[in-house]
Structures are given as C-alpha cells and as structure tokens.
Structure 1
Amino acid sequence: MLSIVLAVGIGTVAVPITHTWEFLRAGLLGGTIPASDVGQYRIIWDIRLPRVVLAVVVGAGLATVGVAIQAMVRNALAEPFVLGISSGASVGAAAVTLFGVFASLGIYALSAGAFLAALAATVIVYLVARTRQGLTPLRLVLTGTALSYGFFAVTTVLVFQAPNGEAARSALFWLLGSLAGANWGSLPIAAAVVVAGTALLLALAGRLNALAMGDEAATTLGVDVARLRAVLFVVCAAMTGVLVAVSGAIGFVGLILPHLVRLVVGADHRRVLAVAPLAGAVFLVWVDVAARVLAAPEELPLGVLTAAVGVPAFLVLMRRRAYVFGGV
C-alpha cells in the first residue's frame, strides 16, 4: 500500500504525499476537493492511480506465472514468454496499431487484438506440443520457443510494412512493454484473471512441489501429471495473454522474481506462490515509476528497465554456488 501511495505521487508533476493521500481518500470514500486542487486530483485519480494499480496486477501476474511455468516444464530458465503466447499477442497488437484492425472497438481494440492473437497462439502451441502422453516439458519448451521466433518474424514484417513511421514507433514501444494506456476500463478483467489464476495455482501448490521433483516421483505420489500439466498450461496461457494484452511484452519479471523469492522463503510452492505476487507487484510499480521519471517528459519502455535489472540479477544468481534454481 505504501508503494502505491508513493508511486502515485511521483511523476512529471510532483504531488506531496499528504495531498496524494487526501485525493485517494476522497476518491475512495467520498469527499470534497478544493477547486484549486482539482487538476492534481484528476492527475492522481484518472491517470496515475489506474496505471499504478495495473502495474500491481501485471507484476503480480507475471511473477506468479513464472513460478508455475518453471515448475511445469522443470526448467529454471522458463518464464511466461517461453510458451510463445506473448509473441502471438504481439502479432495481434501490431496488426491493431499499424493497420487499424478491430478499430470499431475503440480504446479496447489493442487489448482485444492482442488477447485474440494470444488465444490463437495458445491453441497452436497446444496442438503442436501435445502427444498421446500429454504435454511433455521438452516438447512444450521447444514448441513454444520455435513458434515464438515465428510470431516474432510475423510481427517484424508487419512493422516494416507500417504505413508511417509514427505507427511503427508506437508498435515497437508497446512491444517492449508499457502501462501508458492504463485506464479504469482495462483493470477489472486483468485483475479478475490474475486473482483467479493465482488462487487456482495456490490450490495446486502441493502438486507443483511433486511435479518439480520429476514426473515419475509425482506419479508415485498420486499426481496425474499429464492432466496437471494441461491445466497449468491453460491457466498460464490465459494469464499471460490477458497481461500482455494490457501491458505489452514485459520480460524478466517472470524469470527473476521467482528465483529471488525462493532465496528468501525456500522452494516450497505454497510459500513461493504466496510471496511472489507481492514481490512482482512491488517490483513493477517501481520499475514503472523509473520509466516515467528517468527520461521525463518522455517514457522509457518497461522491458528495457526490467532487462537492465534482470540481467545483472540473473548473473549474480548464477554465481551463487549455494543457490540451486528452485531444485528445478
């Protein structure tokens, strides 16, 4: 909560924390705002607060999905984008931004295009990776990686075919991650999906512990591995698709945060899944603050900043001899 209040007050137009708190209380509980403060109130309530709340939702969701995917494919390098879902969503977003697809949907066109493309990518990855034995980790990773490159190639072609340079710039900025389009209308669906997905994964935490030990061990413990992996795939794909649709492709959150959380709470998924959403939320809130203020009045893409933090953090983790990547 403290991070939210502080982050809402930081920006090109600085708002004192006491004013920020009063504006938030007035917006939530009702109250009057002096006429001289209406401008600041609108900045806080209509622009910054939905953006900060969306950062909370996206950060929590990406960190949670990262935990689940690393357990699902038993690969320490896995993250939400390894399934190819984000690359598929990027194709839809590029089509909307560059060529006006779904223009009749107005402000929801970008989210709709990205989500539908993510849904199509999910179906393709599932159909290609699935065998009679179910979804095996190796086939899932290889299929997702290969199709990610294919979707990325399609996105690149669309950008090169852009009718004008400004449209191409907007598409590239979104593809690197941005919360600039946050509004109250985009929050409910994303928040509902993240809450529901996180609750389901928490309920499956015991089975994730078994799955992380290997398919044979999980089967011995009574876990239907094929069914569990299919459920995890659907949940992770749905969460990733929705999050990419509202924020673009933000890397490293789902890769680094699960490892950092395991350093603190251990490898038990019941603890990891309880802490990872909070860690991801706080992390992305402050990354977004940095994106807004470091190059003000311009903004930096979130993916650039998450990479700037994530790459050194990952290298430090690899240098820690005592750290095994969650036992995965």
Structure 2
Amino acid sequence: MTAAATAATDRRPARTARVGLVATALTAALVAALTLAVSLGAVDIPIAEVWTVVGRRLTGATPEPGTRDLIVWQLRAPRALLAAVVGAGLGLVGTAVQAMVRNPLADPYLLGISSGASLGAVAVTVLGAGIGTGLGFGVSAAAFAGALASFALVWAMARRGGGFSPLRLVLAGVGIGQFLSGFTSFLVLQAGDEQQTRGILFWLMGSLGGATWSQLAIPTAAVALGLLALQARARPLNALLMGDETAAGLGVDVTRLRRELFAVTSLLTGVLVAVSGAIGFVGLLVPHVCRLLVGGDHRRLLPVSALAGAVLLVVVDTVARTALDTQEVPIGVVTALLGAPVLLYLLDRRLERS
C-alpha cells in the first residue's frame, strides 16, 4: 500500500467521526429549535409544559383542558414540524441542483424553479382551491408541473448553442423567474375575493401560517422519498461535479442522471412551494455551510444538508412569527435578508477568480 493510500485510509475514521459529530449536533439543535418554536409566541408557554402536552398526546393520555393544549398541539407543533420538513427539502434540492448544474450559486429560487411552482399553485388556487385549506394533491401536482416546465426552459436557454455556461444559467433563471412571477401576479389580480388576494400575496412571500397536521403527510413523504432517491445517486453526483466527460468515463449515464434529477428536484420544489410559498436562499445557504462542515462528498452532504435546512427554517419561521408584536413577517423576507448578502459575497469571489 502506498503512503498516499495509507494516509487516506487513516483519515476515514476521523472523517466519519466528524460527520457523526456534526449530525448529532444538528439533531440536538433541531430538537431545541422545535421546542423553542412551540414555546415562544404571543403567549409564551414554559418548555416543561410543552413537553408535558406533547407527551400526553403521544402516549394517548387524556389531554389537559385549556387553551395551552390547543396552542401547543393544534397550532404551533404542526407549524414547527412543517417548517422542519420544508427546510430539509430545500436543503436537499439546493444541494442536488448545485451538483447537477455545477454552479454553487444555483438554488430553486434563483433558477426560476420556485417561480414556476408558484405559478402552477396559484393557477389552481385562483381557479377554485382555497389557499388555506385546499393545499392538497391538486395544488402539489400543479406546482410540480410548473417547476418541471420552468426548470426545463431555463436549462434549454443555458444550453443554447451547444455549450453550457453557469453564468448564463443563472441569468436565464433570473429572467424566466421574473417573467413567471409577473404572470403569477396577473393571475392573483384575477381573483375576485379581496381577502383571497391578500392571502395569496402573503403566501407567495413564504408563509407557514395555518399549518395543520393533515398538511404534513404529502411534504414529509416527498422529502423522505427525495432523500432516498438522491442518496442512491450520491456517487454519480460526485462524478458529475468533475464534468460530463469525466462522469461518462466513470460509467455514469449523464443524460439519464440529469433527467432523474430534474424529476426529483422539480417534484420536491413543487410540493414544498404548494405548502409554504416560494422561500428563497435556503437552498443557496445550506449546501455552502454544510460543505465547510463535512466536505463535498454527497453521501455525507445530502443528509447533513437536510438536517441543517430543517434547523435553519424552524429558526427563521420562529423569528418571522415573533419578531413583531402586531403582525407576522413573511418567511421569504427573513431568508432574503440572510441570503442576499451571502449571494453578493459569492458573486464577488467568483468575479475575482475570473
């Protein structure tokens, strides 16, 4: 065995231990964030009482009468869990998209995928589905179709002329995303109910308000299946980062892999947008932070990104819900305040290198 091979073998246990430590820390942070999300609000509830209510509900014991059981179990718990599921999904999609297009600036929001999903969801909503209670399979299916169509259009624009430019991809995504957003706004104005129009506009900026237990099933199943599908393609994703020719030389069917990734990421984006609106920059931020923690191997990066995305969105949703006494701040506003400076920093670094 060569010295280089011996050194690489010696580093594996240390790397595995590091990943385990990061995953354990993120899991603990997620539990803490969920607990605080349920505890904090217009009426603060002690953490011990939060766990008492949850324990009674999970064990089937008779819940204590009063409003606190209602607040913890019916209002805040499903919202906090939905935030975790959506954040995990956005982390996964951001990681997969960045590998698929070999561009660290890519995320569903910047590439126009979220805009396409929003257009599909709003079209169904304006045609009759209720924004508060009708976010079921019909809206998810429409959002998936919109996400897939917009992603395919952006990719076709980026590949014009036979070449591929990461910068052209981002520009095409921004341009097509803005066009789709404009068409979405036109559809919103066609809604006859003023209250519905306000609800849609607030939801489009990112909102988990009105989350219920029944809304958790579809996005949870989609994120779980998405993680399994992407994890099964972790090695091909690693190869894809080295370029299409290198990946093909390693036995990867690049065309088939991209088609599968198109389907998985579009499905995830569509389902997530259907329940939360278009939340930007989570898919951009999370993969960068996680690469610093565990490296670029997607076998480790994908599950860690899911955990980190869940923690981030639970914290962001709690801040959005509690920052102001008089009203709730859309989640997209908070993530934009966090993500826009990071995007400018990454753009500046890429311009310096080029």
Per-residue deviation, residues 107-160 of structure 1 (Å, max 9, x unmatched): 2257633541431451465378569xx997868767655542332121121234
Identify which of 274, 277, 280 aligns with 1:248. 277
Shift of 1:256: 0.9
Determine if the alignment matches structure 1 residue 229 to structure 2 residue 229.
Answer: no
* TM-score, reference length from structure 2: 0.80
Distance 1:135 1:233 in 2: 19
- Matching residue of 1:101: 128
Identify which of 152, 177, 201 aligns with 1:148. 177
- Matching residue of 1:116: 142
CA gap 1:135/1:160 in 2 versus in 1, 3 angstroms: farther
- Matching residue of 1:210: 239
What are the ranges of 5 or more consecutive residues in structure 1 without an aligned counterpart?
none
Distance 1:135 1:171 in 2: 39
What are the ranges of 5 or more consecutive residues in structure 2 without an aligned counterpart?
1-30
- Matching residue of 1:179: 208
Shift of 1:179: 0.4
Tell me the SS of whatever aligns to 1:108.
coil
* TM-score, reference length from structure 1: 0.86
Identify which of 28, 41, 45 aligns with 2:69. 41
Q: Which moved more, 1:223-232 or 1:116-125?
A: 116-125
Equivalent positions of 1:1-328 (< 5 A) are: 1-35=31-65, 38-95=66-123, 99-102=126-129, 107-109=133-135, 112-113=138-139, 115-123=141-149, 125-126=151-152, 129=155, 144-163=173-192, 165-315=194-344
Shift of 1:271: 1.6
Distance 1:200 1:309 in 2: 29
Distance 2:277 2:35 in 1: 24
Q: Aligned partner of 1:24: which letter?
A: V
CA gap 1:198/1:117 in 2 versus in 1, 3 angstroms: closer
Tell me the SS of whatever aligns to 1:80.
coil
Residue correspondences, number: 318
8 A contact 1:23–1:44 mirrored in 2: yes
Tell me the SS of whatever aligns to 2:133.
helix
Q: Aligned-residue CA RMSD in angstroms? A: 3.0
Identity of aligned residues (%): 49
Shift of 1:100: 4.9
Tell me the SS of whatever aligns to 1:251.
coil
Per-residue deviation, residues 15-48 of structure 1 (Å, max 9, x unmatched): 000100100111111223433xx21001110110
8 A contact 2:38–2:76 mirrored in 1: yes
